[in-house]
Amino acid sequence: MSDTIEKVSIIVSKGSLEGIYPALIMANGARAEGIDANLFFTFFGLDAIHKKRFEHIKVATVGNPGMHMATLVGGLPGMSALATHMLEKKMDEFDIPPIPEFVEMIADTGAGMYACKASVDLFGLSEDDFIEQVGSIITVGEFYEIAAGGEIIFT
């Protein structure tokens, strides 16, 4: 059984609902299989651990061909909120937790959570802006140290 994955480090760079969920599902799934997991939030991905924003993550209705919606329609006011509401309802039926609950649960599984220093500085944020589960704000170099010996997944 040498073909096993022992550790994954997942980079979350997008701040949309469809950008964040896959990373969370993969991190949670890794822990469920006994695989060590780290989440590294960078750029707009920081919204997933931002105290005031992680309850308001929206699905992108513009520039998202997967929505099968004309760009003009997708750009109408409230369209993103509507699409998000519909998707969240559907997800609840399948018992997929909302992002805040999911992030906290993943922290409880023992996964590491880190914010990218460059992005935190760029957006003028500080540790106080993030949920307490975030271990620390780290540099890209420190991320590679933490990720060493495992797989890195960029989302």
- Binding stretches for other proteins (CB under 8 A): 25, 28-29, 31-34, 94-97, 105, 108-110
Handedness of CA 35, 38, 43, 44 (dihedral sign): positive
Separation CA 147–CA 127 (nearest Å): 22
Shortest Cβ 108–other proteins spacing (Å)? 4
Shortest Cβ 26–other proteins spacing (Å)? 9
Output 25 or 76, the one with its CB closest to other proteins: 25
Shortest Cβ 107–other proteins spacing (Å)? 9
Separation CA 88–CA 92 (nearest Å): 6
Shortest Cβ 91–other proteins spacing (Å)? 10
Output 74 or 150, the one with its CB closest to other proteins: 150
Inter-residue contact 130 to 49 (CB < 8 Å)? yes
Output 105 or 125, the one with its CB closest to other proteins: 105
Q: Which residues pair with 130 in a beta bridge?
A: 50
Handedness of CA 151, 130, 127, 125 (dihedral sign): positive
Output 8 or 79, the one with its CB closest to other proteins: 8
Separation CA 13–CA 151 (nearest Å): 17
